[in-house]
Amino acid sequence: MYSLLFNHRAYLVFLLVNLSISKTTGQDNDNAVPLTTITLAQCYDWSKNNYPLVAQLDLLAKSTQYSLSNASKGTLPQININGQATYQSEVTELAIDIPNTEIPTVDKDQYNIYAEVYQPLTNFANIRSQKNQIDLNGKMEMQQVEIDLYQLQDRVNQIYFSILLMDARNGQLSLMEQDIDSTLARLEAAVTNGTSTLMDQKLLEVEKIKIEQQIQENGSNRAAFLRMLSQLTGQTIGKTTTLIQPVNASETWTLNRPELRLFDLREQLLNVQDAQLNNRYIPDVGLFFQGGYGRPALNFLSNEFSTYYITGLKLNWNLSSLYKTKNDRQNLAIQRQLINTEKETFLLNNEITQSQQSAEIVKFNDLIAGDEKAVALREEIKTIAEVQLLNGLITTIDYIKILNDASRAKQDLELHETMLLQAQYNLKTTTGN
C-alpha cells in the first residue's frame, strides 16, 4: 500500500514540476559544492528570489514612480509655442476719404508667431486623483505579481515533503537491511551447526538483494526531486544535502492571503474614481500670458512687424461631461458588486480547501496513533520470529513476511507523520501564513 501511494504521489509531483519549471532555470555549474543543510523556509525565499517573475516588482515600482512624477508636473505652467503664415483673399479696409491723410491697408500675406504660458489654478484636485489612481494601479500590478509568486510555496511543499518521504523510506530500508545482515550472520552459524538449511540462508540473501535494489531506486528518485528543488530555488542541492524536517505547524491560522490585499486595492481604486467624478463640477481657471511677434500685431491697421503681449485670467468649464456622471457612478457601483462577488467566491473556495486540509490533519493524527501501537506489536513479533527462525520453528519465508510486516508498519508511521506535516504546511500556505 505504501509503495503504491508513494510512487503515485511522486509521479504526480514529478509531472507537475517538470511541466512548470523551465529546464534552463537552476544552476549551471555542475561542479559547485552542494549545500550541507536546507530548510523549508529557505526554499520558500530562494524560489521566490530565483523566479524570473520577481524582476517585475522592481520594474513596476520604477514605472509607477515615473508616472507619478509626470502627473505632478501637471501643476507646473504649461508652455505652448504657435506660429502661422497665411495669405487671405481680402483684408479689412476703411472705405472713407480723409483729406491730407493716407489710411494704411494691411497686406494680404500675414505672419504671426507667439508663445503662451498657462498656469492652472484649479486642477490640484484632478492631479491628486490622478496620482492616487497611478499609485493604486501600480500597487495592484505589484500585488498580482506577489500572488503569482506566492503560488510557488505550494510547489515547494510538494517537492520538499516528497523528498522527506523518500528519506524516511530509505531509513526504513536501511534498518531492514541491517536486520537481515544480523540474522544472516547468526543463520550462517546455524547452517554450520545443522539447525538450519542452506536454502534458508539463500532466501535471506535474495531478500537482501531486493532491499538493495529498492534503496537504489529510492536514491534515484530522490536525486531527481533534488534536481527539481535545485532548479526551483537556484541553489546547489545535491544528494549529500540534508533537508531539515520542519517542526509541527499550528493547525489554526488567521486568513492572510495576498489575494485579500488585491481586493482591498481594487476597492480603494473605485473610491478614488468615484471621488474624481466630483471634480467635473470644478471649472478650469488659470492665469495666462501670451507674447508674440507678427504682422499685423494687436493693431490690425498696422502693416509693420511688431511685438505684442496679452495677459489675464482664463475660464474653461466643460458642462457636457456632467451628462455622463450618473451612469459613471452606476458603473462604479456594478464594479464594486463584481469585486465583492469575486471576494466571496475566493473566501468560499479557500474555506472549503481549509476544511479538507483540516480533515486530513485529523485523519493523519488518528492514523499515527494506530501506527505507533502497530509498530510496537510488530517489533515484538519480529523479535520472537527471529528466535524461532534460528531454532527451526518457522521457515525463512515466514520470517521474511514478518520482517516485511514490521518494516511496513514503521514505513506507515513515518509516512503518516510526514504527510501530517505536509497537511499542516499546506494549511499554513492556504491561509497565507
Q: Given this model, what pLDDT does residue 18 score?
A: 47
Q: Given this model, what pLDDT does residue 411 score?
A: 83
Q: Given this model, what pLDDT does residue 3 score?
A: 43
DSSP string, 12-36: HHHHHHHHHS-TTSS---TTSPPPS
- Residue 301: inside a domain, yes or no? no
What CATH number is attached to the domain comprising 235?
Answer: 1.20.1600.10
Cα 296 to Cα 304: distance, rounded to the nearest angstrom: 6
Whole-angstrom Cα Rg for the chain: 40
Residue keyed to cell 537482501: 208
- Residue 92: inside a domain, yes or no? no
Statement: residue 23 has pLDDT above 70: no
Rounded to 5 degrees, what angle do the CA atoms 239, 241, 243 make?
115
What percentage of the chain has pLDDT greater than the value 90?
Answer: 40
Lowest mean pLDDT among 9-18, 148-157, 255-264: 9-18
Q: What is the pLDDT of residues 401-425, one digit of tens each?
A: 888 888 888 888 988 998 899 899 9
Q: What amino acid occupies position 187? A: L
Average pLDDT over residues 32-54: 88
Q: Given this model, what pLDDT does residue 9 score?
A: 46
Q: Given this model, what pLDDT does residue 30 score?
A: 54
How many Cβ atoms sit within 10 Å of the Cβ of residue 416? 22
Q: Given this model, what pLDDT does residue 271 score?
A: 93
Residues 6+ apart with CB under 8 A from 286: 118, 119, 120, 121, 122, 123, 313, 314
Q: What is the pLDDT of residues 347-363, one digit of tens each?
A: 999 999 999 999 999 99
- Residue 355: inside a domain, yes or no? yes
Statement: residue 226 has pLDDT above 60: yes
- Residue 52: inside a domain, yes or no? yes
Q: Given this model, what pLDDT does residue 12 score?
A: 45
Q: What is the pLDDT of residues 356-393, one digit of tens each?
A: 999 999 999 999 999 999 999 998 998 898 888 888 78
- Residue 117: inside a domain, yes or no? no
Q: Given this model, what pLDDT does residue 156 score?
A: 93
Residue keyed to cell 473556495: 349
Confirm if 83 and 103 have CB atoms less than 8 A apart: no
Residue range of the domain that includes 180: 2-72+133-282+324-431
- Residue 77: inside a domain, yes or no? no
- Residue 298: inside a domain, yes or no? no
pTM metric for this prediction = 0.76
- Residue 97: inside a domain, yes or no? no
The long-range contacts involving 358-362, CB below 8 angstroms and separated by at least 24 positions, are 358/251, 358/427, 360/419, 360/423, 361/251, 361/420, 361/423, 361/424, 361/427
Cα 196 to Cα 46: distance, rounded to the nearest angstrom: 57
Residue keyed to cell 507537475: 16
Q: What is the pLDDT of residues 137-183, one digit of tens each?
A: 999 999 999 999 998 899 999 999 999 989 888 888 888 888 788 87
Domain count, the chain: 1
What percentage of the chain has pLDDT greater than the value 70?
Answer: 90
**For residue 332, what pLDDT band results from cuts at 50, 70 and 90?**
very high
Average pLDDT over residues 126-131: 90
